[in-house]
Structure 1
Amino acid sequence: MYEAKNFITAPAPEGSVRVMTWNIRFGIGRLPFFGDSCGDRSIFTEGEVLNTLELVAAEIDAIDPDIILLQEVDRESKRTQYIDQVQWLLNHTE
């Protein structure tokens, strides 16, 4: 185990920044996908994708992060009906 010889008291922060990171799994939530070896589907309906994006947007609004880092966000992909998920989330979050 490593330990510093001297300890100092960190200054109290003057404010805080809320950071959120989330892998939204290209907008399909927990639907089975062949790429995860848990299903045989590779293309999803517009309704399935939009339903998941609505849930994602609601959670983003509830957490209200200052900075958000999203992974697996599709843009112009056949598997998610060519929905630009970046723009959709920008348009549907506050």
Structure 2
Amino acid sequence: MTNEQVIGRLKQGNWYVEYKTEQEVNLILEACDEAEITWVDGDKATEWKQFGLYPSCITFYKHHHGITYSFDLSDDEKEMQNITSWFFDAIKGEDND
């Protein structure tokens, strides 16, 4: 279960998380589910997974109503906060509790 600090940060938007493996993308999408963040089309985060498409990143603009994914960040996406290290450190910290 994802802690409230992670859920709170995800809900703020304006972030992206890079991933390189299926395990990493699963962690991101499960955290989005717990934060009640969907894909921009409204689908549950874990309903659609772009397996085999690595590396990539999940993005969440603060002015959008859901997440998207990207292989190559656009200039607009580069303006968002990269929370990759923070996210995975926070998730690993939960495993140690």
TM-score normalised by L of structure 1: 0.24
Query: Which structure has the highest helix share of the two?
Result: 2
Query: Which structure has the highest strand share of the two?
Result: 2
TM-score normalised by L of structure 2: 0.24
